[in-house]
Amino acid sequence: MNRTTSSKYVLITGLSVLLGACGGGNTSSLSSSPSTSATPASFGSATVNMTDAPGDFSHVWITVTKIAFHSSASQTWSVSDSSWQTYTLPTPVTLDLASLDNGALNKVFSSIQLPTGTYRQIRLFLDGPASALDGSAQAIADSNGNALQWNDQVERVENGQSVEYALNVPFAAAGVRLTGTFNIVANSTLNLTVDVNLNKSVVAYHHGKARGYILNPWLRYYDMSQVGAITGSVDPTQLCLVTNHQPVASNSCAYNIVVKAEAVDSTQGRYASLRTTMVDPTTGSFTLYPVAVNDINGNPIDYHVLVRGRNMETMVIKHVPVTAGTTPTQGATTLPKLSLTTLAQTGYSALFASPLTPLTSGYAVFMQTDPIEKVPYSVRFRSTDPATGNFFDPVALENSGLLTTTYATSGLVFAPVVPKEGSGNYSVGVNDYGDYLMSTNFTTLTAPTSGSSATFGFTAPTQGSNSANGTITGTIALGSGVANKYNHLMLYVADASHVVTSQDLSTQLSSSTINYTQSGLSTGNPWDVYYVYLRLWNDTTKAWGEMVPVNGVANLNQQSSAMLNVSVNQ
């Protein structure tokens, strides 16, 4: 079955590929050995790096424990399933993903021995924040000089101060699922890089009255023999100064500038961002690496590079070439230095007028269309808070049009373009996780005529043509002391990639038994396998609380309903 139209699998779309070209910085190298035995005729090997795209964070630490490979894209994970090729690190490794922007790579698994053949699924395993603190996490200090509190931890600057949060990893025991296709050849090493897009993957959610973060991963992996690099810079004198890790905005400077390599995704009727990076706020430089050279059919990808930020007009450089084998330091496509057109802080913010439906966990893409290209560019992306179905923070948008040009080695001349939507307006596409499809009947968001905020409706996503509506039901038995210890109870439903939806059951904590029902879940496909877990905490303390996995798996690939029960004791 063709999976390119599903929101659930963000690794390989109609445009993304398994990419390549070595280089870009290596901060660690650890070997691993298989935990399964096999005696195939021959072996090859794989090396797995990690890289990142930007997010609004000082640090994002994750603790990696093992990786597993399978020839089937739809195989369900089980620790007792010997058909998985599983490789465990000698000791867990804690990485700061926020340090892996602008082409930096970190080699996590080195020279993994794999039987020759074709592989279609990878599971990456993290030690979740509810697990005991690993030695690799204990050895790291945050910006306040304190040891990490959790194996997976987020740090961001708030009012000039560094604040730490646990990064909630949905059902960590099942691993984070990536799909695609790559071949292991005898006596040859395949160099793979997993890209974690922090802006999309680390999602803010309401933790009662406070902020929390959950990992809803947008991952791609790349064959590093099939990628190239794009480098460039913007005029650093046009960038806002940064004080206490935060930009000092004014009418004459730009900040939080993101650069994206985009190409047409025909399945969603828009330009999709295939690689993203952040402009260095001091030097103005940026690096897009690794960047796929060809799509999954072997055709060259026609990239348009989009540059957007706060207090500036969005810029597009069309038809930027990428050459296989180039790296940030060798042969990269280099864009001429860009001069920004700054704005007098004319931006505005936007929220949904009502929560995302039918599920709470998904995302929105804010687009503007060059009338010549006719296909909208993806300017902004925002995930929904899975606890509410809306954005935790309003989306910041610029009340402006586009500046476009065609790639040249020197002398780029940008022309102002009024988007098809109108200056300051956006087409908005909305999607749910869990086998829903974004409607190409985009909603138009109109800039407010007064004030600096707007709310908008949206066209709800629909289930895929091969999916049907499924339901999970069950009971939660609560011990007599639970209500005295906690005042919040959230139920989350996750697949092997994302949280797909949630329910707030806090008002029922005083009951000895809670009956729950969750509908709207996709059924009928091999990948329609769901996990349920509970989060309990108390607003009066700053403790992480408790994460309770519900035993069992809701396998809806051949049935429309499942029942999962759990008991919670004090």
The string of DSSP letters for 277-328 reads EE--TTT-EEEEEEEESB-TTSPBP-EEEEEEEETB-EEEEEEE---TT-BT
Decide if pLDDT at 545 tops 90.
no
Q: How many CB atoms lie within 10 A of CB 117?
A: 14
Q: What is the pLDDT of residues 455-498, one digit of tens each?
A: 999 999 988 878 889 999 999 999 988 988 898 999 999 988 78
Confidence band, pLDDT 50/70/90 cuts, at residue 5: very low
Could you please report the per-residue DSSP string of 135-148?
HHHHT-B-TTSPBP
- pLDDT attached to residue 37: 42
Per-residue model confidence (pLDDT) at position 570: 67
Q: What is the pLDDT of residues 276-290, one digit of tens each?
A: 999 998 999 999 999
Position with higher pLDDT, 425 vs 498: 425
| Confidence bin at 160 (pLDDT 50/70/90) | confident
Neighbours of 529 (CB within 10 A): 20
* pLDDT value for 463: 86
Chain centroid to Cα 29, Å, comes to 24
Is the alpha carbon torsion for 315, 316, 317, 320 positive or negative? Answer: positive
pLDDT band at 546 (very low <50, low <70, confident <90, very high): confident
Cis peptide bond N-terminal to 90, omega within 30: no
355-370 in b/e form (b: 16+ CB < 10 A) is ebebbbbbbbbbbbbb
Alpha-carbon span 446 to 413, nearest angstrom: 29
Average pLDDT of span 26-32: 33
**Residue 154 DSSP SS3:** strand
pLDDT, tens digit, 9 for 90 and up, residues 203-212: 999 887 788 9
Whole-number pLDDT of residue 242? 77
- Helix (H) or strand (E) holding 199, with range, is helix 198-201
What is the residue whose two structure tokens read 């050849």?
185
Question: Up-side HSE of residue 162: CA atoms within 13 Å toward CB?
Answer: 16
pLDDT tens across 428-465, in order?
A: 999 998 888 898 889 999 999 988 999 999 999 988 87
| Cβ atoms of 154 and 97 closer than 8 Å | no
Tokens of 324: 């296989």
Residue 82 is encoded by which pair of tokens?
């010997």
pLDDT for res 244: 62
So what's the pLDDT on residue 24? 30
- pLDDT for residue 558: 87
Residue 2 pLDDT: 31
Q: Between 535 and 245, name the one with better pLDDT.
A: 535
Provide the pLDDT for residue 494. 93
Q: What is the pLDDT of residue 425?
A: 97
- Listed residue (527, 567, 563) closest to 548, CA to CA: 567
Q: Which two tokens stand for residue 41?
A: 């005729």
* Mean pLDDT, rounded, of the chain: 87
Distance set, CA 95 to CA 11, 51, 270 (Å): 21, 10, 33
pLDDT tens readout for residues 102-151: 888 888 888 899 999 999 999 999 997 778 999 999 999 999 999 999 99
Greatest mean pLDDT among 13-27, 312-326, 477-491 lies in 312-326
Within 10 A of 413 (CB to CB), how many other CB atoms are there? Answer: 8
Q: How far is CA 547 from the centre of its chain?
A: 22
Q: What's at 235, amino acid-wise?
A: D
Q: Any idea what the Cα angle at residue 263 is, between residues 420 and 26, rounded to 5°?
A: 135
Judged against a pLDDT cut of 90, whether residue 196 lies above it is answered with no
On the question of pLDDT at 32 being above 70, the answer is: no
Please report, in angstroms and rounded to a whole number, the separation of the first and last CA atoms in the chain: 46
Rg (alpha carbons) of the chain, rounded to whole number? 23
Show Cβ contacts of residue 561 under 8 Å, excluding neighbours closer than 6 positions. Answer: 470, 471, 472, 473
CA torsion, points 454, 426, 500, 488, in degrees to nearest 10? -20
Q: Is the pLDDT confidence value at 381 over 70? A: yes
Q: Is the pLDDT of residue 21 over 50?
A: no
255-274: pLDDT as tens digits = 999 999 999 998 889 999 99
On the CB side of 524, CA atoms within 13 Å amount to: 12
Task: Please identify which residue in the block is written with the tokens 């089937």.
Answer: 72
Percent helix, strand, coil in the chain (nearest 5)?
A: 5, 50, 45
* pLDDT for the residue 466: 80
Q: In what order do the strands lie in the sheet with 395-397?
A: 395-397, 348-352, 453-456
- pLDDT at 4 (0 to 100): 31
pLDDT digits 0-9 by tens, 223-257:
899 999 999 999 999 999 877 666 777 778 999 99
Q: How confident is the model at residue 41 (pLDDT cuts 50, 70, 90)?
A: low
- All residues at 6 or more sequence positions from 158 whose CB lies less than 8 Å from its CB, including other chains: none
CB contact at 8 A, 557 and 468: no
Whether residue 315 contacts residue 398, with contact meaning beta carbons closer than 8 Å, is answered with: no
Confidence at 30, pLDDT banded by 50, 70, 90: very low
Statement: residue 175 has pLDDT above 60: yes
pTM: 0.89
> What's the pLDDT score for residue 89?
92
Which of 88-92, 145-149, 397-401, 435-439 bottoms out in mean pLDDT, i.e. has the lowest? 435-439
